[in-house]
Amino acid sequence: MKQKIFPATLISFLFFAVSCNAQQTNLSVDEFEKAIAQKNIQLLDVRTPGEYQSGHLKNTLQADWNNPAEFKERVKALDKSKPVYTYCLSGARSNAATKWLIQNGFTAYNLQGGITAWKSAGKPVEGLTPVKQISMKEYLEKIPQDKTVLVDFSAVWCPPCKAMEPVIDSLEHQYGNKFLIVKIDGGTQTGICKELNVEAFPTFLLYKNGKETWRKQGMATTKEFLSVL
């Protein structure tokens, strides 16, 4: 009789353990706030860019869960050794994103109730203040005719852009006397991005003699940059 009961008991125990583990991925507002105050964490807003600009948590990266291709491309730049804390408007999209992240090797947690619950609890939210848009004339003035210029279109909330920062900084430090690096915040300078057909971040444009000679969307290696510079 004991041999028949033991497997059933074991299965029940495992089911309970898995259920508890699944529930622990959903954190209350206070639990979430305490968790993201730690060092070496990654905070991910899985709403649309428009929603993000209407108000977001401090130091948040952004990847739209409703855009599967964009989401998967951006999370490639996240560090699997660091936990990811996700949120959306009410918690549904970020819950789905959390499950996907866990299935793909990340440690991830979801803000239960989303940013709506966060605001209701009186927690701080940052909004993007209006930024003066640069004109095409002002943009071209940043590109001297007599220099090789690498323009870096990035956004502060873009995971691949964050991952590219050490590469760009290294290029500037080692070879800055040979070419000029111009950085444009594509997250706020939406007008010039539209004019230049910059549709994703990061995007790199190379100019020689004032003319665009090369363009790369997405991450690139130092070797790739040097081959065209």
| Catalytic residue IDs | 158, 161
Q: Measure the CA–CA gap between 80 and 39, rounded to whole angstroms.
A: 15
Q: Measure the CA–CA gap between 110 and 44, rounded to whole angstroms.
A: 10
- Contacts of residue 167, Cβ cutoff 8 Å, sequence gap at least 6: 220, 221, 222, 225
Asked if 90 contacts 116 with a C-beta cutoff of 8 angstroms, the reply is yes
- Contacts of residue 85, Cβ cutoff 8 Å, sequence gap at least 6: 27, 32, 35, 36, 41, 42, 43, 44, 108, 109, 110, 111
Write phi, then psi, for 109 (nearest 5 degrees).
-140, 150
